[in-house]
Each structure stands twice: as C-alpha cells, then as structure tokens.
Amino acid sequence: GQQLNQSPQSMFIQEGEDVSMNCTSSSIFNTWLWYKQDPGEGPVLLIALYKAGELTSNGRLTAQFGITRKDSFLNISASIPSDVGIYFCAGHPPGGGSNYKLTFGKGTLLTVNP
Amino acid sequence: GAVVSQHPSRVICKSGTSVKIECRSLDFQATTMFWYRQFPKKSLMLMATSNEGSKATYEQGVEKDKFLINHASLTLSTLTVTSAHPEDSSFYICSAARMGLGGDNEQFFGPGTRLTVL
C-alpha cells in the first residue's frame, strides 16, 4: 500500500525559531492534510491542500502541495511554546469520495524550549 | 464548524467487560466515520470505516466480533469493545468525514477515549 515518509521524526527548537517538516510519498495524492495532536487529544486539522503547487497559510503556519503531487511541507514561523505537539501529514489517493481512507505519516514530535 | 465529540473521554474497566464508545459529529452530517487506535508515540492505526446504515469495513487484522461498530445515524457511530482484555488498552479516536473543496473528504477527529482494562 501507499506509504508516507514524514521527517524529521522529532525536533527540539528554541522559541522564536522557524520550523519545517515534510512528507513524501511513493505515489501521487489528490489531497494533503496537516494535523496537530496535543497529548491525550485527537488530531486537529491545521491546513488542507487540494491542488498541486497550492500554497496555503493559516496564521504562522504555511503548507504547500508539491508540484509532483508526491510531497508536501509544513512551515511554522516564530515558534511559541504552545506549538509543542505531534504534527501528522495525511493524504488521499486519487479517486475521491467519502469512503477513501487517509494515509498518515508517522508524525513529527515538536518540542519548543522557552 | 466541524466539531466531533467522543464519549467517554476516559474509561477503566475490568477484564471481560464490554465498553461502548460514542462518536458524534455535532454540526455536520457525516456519512462516513472512521475508528482509529493509537499506541503511545505512534501514528494512528485505522481499525474500520463506518458508513451510516451499512456494515462497517474492517482493516486487515482487526476482529469485527471484538470491535463492534454501529453507525445508526448521520451524526452518531459507536464502537463497542467486547470482552475487553488488558491488551485492548489503548487510545481510541474516531473521525467524521465531510466533503472537502477538492472533492475528497476531510476528516475531523474526536478528542479520543483512553481505555484501560485491568
């Protein structure tokens, strides 16, 4: 089946620094989604991308859908302590429809030192 | 919009008992809901896909008689862990699907249920 390679696995940064993480796939995706999960909570959708080349921002977060449709990155600018958590990329294969399962990356654990 | 609730948030039970977890989409109708299991520091593992009014589709290796899923309405799906054992202890998360701008579904997750089986 399809796999998503998400990197890095973990990051330790200082408050105020910018962060970048990415996901790559062995096959194309129609949709890329980025989620954040706080400890003991469910993932929260941060950004959804629908077109190759699309660049979307949500506050300090920016994500892009790669031109090849096989990758996506998420950037966080000027990190703050509440950015701590696990960030997951997820994607939808071509075909669409509500039954289509998401494929998840393994997550990036972000730690922000005040 | 797109709020999903889960109940209970935490449950502790004795081995051999059954536990029911509810997942509700509060402000939208979801024809499809998904149930995931997550182990500590791991990604989400899809257990089953639940469609309103039909039988759930289980992923390979997930016992359908062990994890009973009922999707009675467009806003409610339930997962029942039958005859729970300590190895069933985990974090269970549901999601509800809503059609996104690109035609594919966006999944919105519930807050999760921490199950501990003694």
* Shortest Cα distance, chain A CAs vs residue B84, angstroms: 21
What are B47-56's pLDDT values in tens digits?
999 988 888 9
Among B44, B57, B101, the residue with its CB nearest the CB of A50 is: B101
The burial class, CB within 10 Å (0-12 / 13-18 / 19+), for A4 is buried
A87, A35 in Cβ contact below 8 A? yes
**B96 pLDDT higher than 60:** yes
Write down the pLDDT at residue A37.
96
**Helices H, strands E: what count in chain A?**
0, 11
In chain B, what percentage of residues exceed pLDDT 70?
A: 95
A93, A101 in Cβ contact below 8 A? no
Distance CA B96, CA B76 (A): 9
Cβ neighbours of B6 in A, within 8 Å: 42
A31 touches chain B (CB under 8 A): yes
